[in-house]
Amino acid sequence: MPSLRQLEYLIAIEDAAHFGRAAAEMNVTQPTLSQQVKEMELRLGSKLIDRGRPVRLTPIGREIASRARRVLRDIGEIRAIAQRGKDGMAGTIRLGVSPTIGPYLMPRAVVRLHRDFPSLRLYIREGIPADHFADLRNGRLDMMLAPLPVIGRDMHVQPLFDEPLQMVGAPDHRLFAKRNLQPGDFAGEPVLSLDRRHPSHGQTEQICEEMGADLLRDYEGTSLDSLRQMAGSGLGLALLPELYLRAETGGEDMVRRFEIDDWAPKRSIAAVWREGAAFASSFAVIAEIAASEAREILA
């Protein structure tokens, strides 16, 4: 059977699609990596890699790499279980956070976590929730915070809190002069959104359909800041989360929120980790602290 190290080499080659980059990632020389892969192919009696440009795994190689990821992830869990028995709430946890949540919630959560658990370390990576979910399944992340829905097998999804969403626009927008605004008053109004990789895009699209508003598909934002700035310039309206509007790094310095009668959209935020994860109890503590800080801000 191949060694665990050889399986790691195979995964590195699949990810990098290049022998040199894979060797650098594994901190070995390229000849060493190539030799180990050839030895693994001899042991298994199958060709695992098509050595072209770019380097690709054969169908058998892809299947072995997929199973190897699960094996290495489980071994990591075994080590974590043993370590946790010694350390409790300690060690490094790799946390994926949506960029529409992290900058406006995690600073407070991190201060509290470090105060209560000084031996705990957080490696925080902001990114698209769909990408984080793939990294969570592959063991590159331990847990993630993201807007619902999050769908996947073998995952524990812990709902944390509901966050109000606010429609904002440039302060001189004509609708601010109208009293008793109704959702129907926004029919035909242009509305900005993040690109479709973000969960908020689908929710914004649905709200636009309900209000009769016009979702601007040619001007998608890359961040909440870009939405706020475009809305502030008068390009369109924007749907922004309450935590962002209350944060020092966000705010309402160039936009104003609409007060709309009988209209209270929200999004739900959850923590996600693998079922049976070694640090599940620690993840639950982190999740609850994040939720507690969010509820305090929103109170």
For 130-143, what is each residue's pLDDT tens digit? Answer: 899 989 988 889 99
pLDDT of residue 83: 64
The average pLDDT across 260-288 equals 92
Q: What is the residue-averaged pLDDT of the chain?
A: 90
Local confidence band at 8 (pLDDT 50, 70, 90 cut-offs): very high
100 within 8 A of 200, measured Cβ to Cβ: yes
DSSP 126: E
pLDDT of residue 85: 52
Q: State the pTM of this model.
A: 0.71
Q: In Å, how far from its chain's centre is CA 51?
A: 33
pLDDT of residue 196: 87
Q: In Å, how far from its chain's centre is CA 136?
A: 9
Provide the pairing of β-strand 143-147 with 256-257. unpaired
**pLDDT over 70 percentage in the chain:** 96
Residue 82 has pLDDT above 70, yes or no: no
Local confidence band at 65 (pLDDT 50, 70, 90 cut-offs): very high
Q: CB 147: neighbour CB atoms within 10 A?
A: 20
DSSP per residue, 240-279 = EEHHHHHSTTS-SSS-EE--BTT---EEEEEEEEETT-TT
Look at residue 91 and give its three-state secondary structure.
Answer: strand
CA 127 – CA 132 distance, rounded (Å): 7
Q: Residue 278, exposed/middle/buried by CB under 10 A (0-12, 13-18, 19+)?
A: buried
Q: CB 292: neighbour CB atoms within 10 A?
A: 15
Residue 175 has pLDDT above 90, yes or no: yes
DSSP 29: -
Please give the residue that has the higher pLDDT: either 224 or 77. 224
Q: CB 27: neighbour CB atoms within 10 A?
A: 6
pLDDT of residue 245: 93
Q: Residue 188, exposed/middle/buried by CB under 10 A (0-12, 13-18, 19+)?
A: exposed
pLDDT of residue 243: 94
The average pLDDT across 273-297 equals 91
Lookup: tokens for 172: 């001189």
Q: Is the peptide bond before 159 cis (omega within 30 degrees of 0)?
A: no
Residue 87 has pLDDT above 80, yes or no: no
Q: In Å, how far from its chain's centre is CA 147?
A: 9
Residue 289 has pLDDT above 90, yes or no: yes
Please give the residue that has the higher pLDDT: either 168 or 79. 168
Longest Cα pair distance anywhere in the chain, in angstroms?
Answer: 77
CA 8 – CA 72 distance, rounded (Å): 8
